[in-house]
Chain A
Amino acid sequence: MSAAIAAEPVAAPLLEVRGLQKRYGAVVALRDVNFTVRRGEVTALLGDNGAGKSTTIKAIAGVAPIDEGDILLEGRPVSIRHPSEATALGIQTVYQDLALCDNLGICANLYLGRELVSSPTALGPHVLRDVDMELEARRVLKTLRINLPALDTPVASLSGGQRQAVAIARAVLWDSKLVIMDEPTAALGVAQTAEVLRLVRDLAEQGYGVILITHNMQNVFQVADNIAVLRLGATVMQARKSDVTPEQVVGAITGTLAIPGTGTAGAMA
């Protein structure tokens, strides 16, 4: 990764999604999802269970491609049909289960699947450059102000917050521009939640675009710049944090605010 992607004043936002639609058989998961993510900003994606947050994330990450709609990355329309295409475009997702290998060390996890190797011949053996990986990993962890024990420590012996930090650092190491985080604080204690939120904020300050999925309204107002609320597969609110109150956001999530297009209010529990 580059230490800090300069937040240059380009007109096009980092990511813009327009009119995303997705159906699973007869079930319409996404009807009309629109939102924008800017460089150097945290965009909180909110919504009740079943509102379409996960489907939206999977669409952008290439796990479950969309049926209709446009995804624009830096103003260019892109097609993301596979996770590797998302990775190639600089989009990384930190899933809730983190997908770490507990038996491997921190450094091995950070570089899993794209180890630095040197090959004496074209066919191999692909010899791991452990020391180089470790030094580079230390540098990245330092810029993110993540403090971890020795980098050969198995991930199994880390705390929940440290594991989350490893997963986030790993996303950043992949030369990414956009980091999607699914409920990063769901299973953490107070101090660890604060640390992870600090990390989320730091990522934005360093010029990454961040999409944060969470249920915790307090977290949202602590770190987000933008708020997008989904309800029943459609965007019902997109606002700057400063323009809305927590009550309004909750209203948008639960549907007690008037929602254009659905007609009903408070239908969902």
Chain B
Amino acid sequence: MSSVQHPEQKSEQKSPFRRWLTGVAQSTDLGMLPVIAALIVIWAVFETLNANFLTPRNLSNLAAQIVVTGTLALAEIYIILLGMIDLSIGWNSVLAASVFSLATVFFHLPVGVGIVLGIALATGIGFLQGMVVSRIGVPSFVVTLGGGMIAEGLTLAILTPHGGSVPLADDFTTAIGTLNLDPLWSWVLSLLLFGGYAAVTLGGIRKRAASGHEGGFAATMRLVGVAIMLFGAVFMLNAYRGVPFLLMLFLIALFASAFVTKSTRFGRHLYAVGGNAEAARRAGISVKGIQLAVFIIAGFLVGLAGYLDAARLGVASASVGNGDIMLNAVAAAVIGGTSLFGGRGSVYGALFGALVIASVSNGMNLLGAASSVRFIVEGLILLAAITIDTILRLRRMRSGRA
């Protein structure tokens, strides 16, 4: 035994649960726990006030409502993990949608070409913004503020001659926006997904245990939690019409992002750059390369979000950009536990943060509350989330660790 050890870490005799609980109490990074707890409270409150809230039908609505906010929040989380911010995601997504509508409705191009054009444009904008941020070093706040304004101007230039909005009529987009996955397929897919996840997790635990090290209690608990959430969601959605295709596309983007950020070298480097760019540079990581790549990925997701939004609404409309989609996405990212100081958070925050935002507005609508009340409640939740983030950061600094 060496003396380089905290006294409170001599907890070998405690049960795994007690040790986990102590870890949470002293933790400076709570992960998804606060937002899941908040979600449970919000759902319980709305269900008490209106028994229509937790019905399969309303939850299906909710599932479709989180898609655009969630996908944009996912893009924003990538950027925030770097310690930066992207204010252009709202208008860039609308621009992608309007380019898609222009290509398919007015130039009669195939749907696939329209989708590629829209997403490629958003990705290209991400690339340009990333170049300015990483090579020249202009703060992302300003670059994306300007980028968003340019995107707004371009969107208006495209859509205003057509009355500000272009209805979409192609079958593929309508299907994506309105149809659901067959219940049998959703069970098969979710079982396959969970099976793969469980195999990887259990494999890791077994490998550690085989070499005489303790298996992960936390990992097992997480596995159980994921099973409950995944199968619960599939069950509820199948009780109505099934899993919406929109949700499927968002979840594919989410799980792919989870893989990229948690399990690949690129993801590790992304967190390193967000946590301590100088340390990452000295370790031989190309900080500029990571920053550029992140802006490109975020641009791609923004384009995807634009298409999903157009598919959901059946129209490419400039008024969407005037709404609060960008601020909702930033709020969802922060509520989902992503630290604005960079390097801390998880892409799953996009899912849970978007669920919180959508649940509040959905629940308020059910109650017939005025949008004034809705904004106040959402604002309070956002403030609570950022306060938790700041308190955790203060805790780290007080112990000299930030």
> Which of these, A83, A99, A126, A165, contacts B266 with CB under 8 Å?
A126
List the B residue with the shortest CB-CB distance to A196: B4
> Which of these, A84, A127, A148, A161, contacts B284 with CB under 8 Å?
A84
List the B residue with the shortest CB-CB distance to A192: B4
> Which of these, B6, B204, B267, B399, contacts A149 with CB under 8 Å?
B6
Is the beta-carbon distance between A99 and B271 smaller than 8 angstroms?
A: no
- B182 at the A/B interface (Cβ < 8 Å)? no
- A265 at the A/B interface (Cβ < 8 Å)? no
Q: Which residues of B contact A191 (CB under 8 A)?
A: 3
Interface string of B2-31 (1 = CB under 8 A from A): 111110010000000000000000111100
> Which of these, A154, A156, A158, A194, contacts B3 with CB under 8 Å?
A194
Q: How many angstroms from the CA of A138 to the CA of B207 in the assembled complex?
A: 14
Q: Which residues of B contact A154 (CB under 8 A)?
A: 28-29
Is the beta-carbon distance between B283 and A99 smaller than 8 angstroms?
A: yes
Is the beta-carbon distance between A99 and B204 smaller than 8 angstroms?
A: no
Q: Which residues of A contact B27 (CB under 8 A)?
A: 157
- A131 at the A/B interface (Cβ < 8 Å)? yes
List the A residue with the shortest CB-CB distance to B1: A147
Query: Beyond A101-B279, A126-B265, A128-B263, is A195–B271 a contact (Cβ under 8 Å)?
Result: no
Is the beta-carbon distance between B280 and A101 smaller than 8 angstroms?
A: yes
Is the beta-carbon distance between B1 and A101 smaller than 8 angstroms?
A: no
> Which of these, B3, B208, B260, B280, contacts A134 with CB under 8 Å?
B208
Instruction: Please tell me which stretch of A5-13, A42-50, A107-115, A203-211 contacts chain B, meaning at least 4 of its Cβ atoms lie within 8 angstroms of it.
Output: A107-115
Count, A-B residue pairs, CB within 8 A: 126
Is the beta-carbon distance between A156 and B401 smaller than 8 angstroms?
A: yes
- B388 at the A/B interface (Cβ < 8 Å)? no
Q: How far is the CB of A129 from chain B (nearest CB, A)?
A: 10
Interface string of A116-127 (1 = CB under 8 A from B): 010000001111
Q: Which residues of A contact B263 (CB under 8 A)?
A: 127-128, 130
> Which of these, B9, B29, B211, B266, contacts A135 with CB under 8 Å?
B211
Query: Beyond A101-B272, A194-B3, is A113–B283 a contact (Cβ under 8 Å)?
Result: yes
Q: How many angstroms from the CA of A55 to the CA of B386 in the assembled complex?
A: 43
- A103 at the A/B interface (Cβ < 8 Å)? yes
- B278 at the A/B interface (Cβ < 8 Å)? yes
Q: How many angstroms from the CA of A156 to the CA of B400 in the assembled complex?
A: 8
Q: How far is the CB of B28 from chain A (nearest CB, A)?
A: 6
Q: Which residues of A contact B9 (CB under 8 A)?
A: 149
- B242 at the A/B interface (Cβ < 8 Å)? no
Is the beta-carbon distance between B265 and A128 smaller than 8 angstroms?
A: yes
Q: How many angstroms from the CA of A186 to the CA of B269 in the assembled complex?
A: 29
Q: Which residues of B contact A130 (CB under 8 A)?
A: 204, 263
Interface residues of A in 82-103 (CB under 8 A from B): 83-84, 87, 95, 99-103
Q: How far is the CB of B269 from chain A (nearest CB, A)?
A: 8
Interface residues of A in 163-202 (CB under 8 A from B): 165, 191-192, 194-196, 198
Is the beta-carbon distance between B3 and A103 smaller than 8 angstroms?
A: no
Q: How many angstroms from the CA of A145 to the CA of B2 in the assembled complex?
A: 7
- B264 at the A/B interface (Cβ < 8 Å)? yes
List the A residue with the shortest CB-CB distance to B345: A103
Q: How many angstroms from the CA of A156 to the CA of B392 in the assembled complex?
A: 11
Name B residues whose Cβ lies closer than 8 Å to a Cβ of A.
1-6, 9, 26-29, 204, 207-208, 211, 213, 259-260, 263-269, 271-272, 274-276, 278-280, 282-285, 343-344, 396, 399-402
24 contacts between A and B (CB under 8 A): A83-B282, A99-B278, A101-B271, A101-B276, A103-B271, A103-B274, A103-B275, A103-B276, A103-B344, A108-B271, A108-B272, A112-B268, A112-B283, A115-B265, A131-B207, A131-B208, A134-B208, A147-B1, A156-B402, A157-B26, A159-B6, A162-B4, A162-B5, A198-B2
Name A residues whose Cβ lies closer than 8 Å to a Cβ of B.
83-84, 87, 95, 99-104, 108, 112-115, 117, 124-128, 130-131, 134-135, 138, 145-149, 154-162, 165, 191-192, 194-196, 198
Question: Other CB < 8 Å A-B pairs besides A87-B284, A149-B9, 18 of them?
Answer: A101-B280, A102-B275, A112-B283, A113-B283, A117-B265, A125-B260, A128-B263, A130-B204, A130-B263, A135-B207, A135-B211, A147-B2, A147-B4, A154-B29, A156-B401, A157-B28, A161-B4, A192-B3
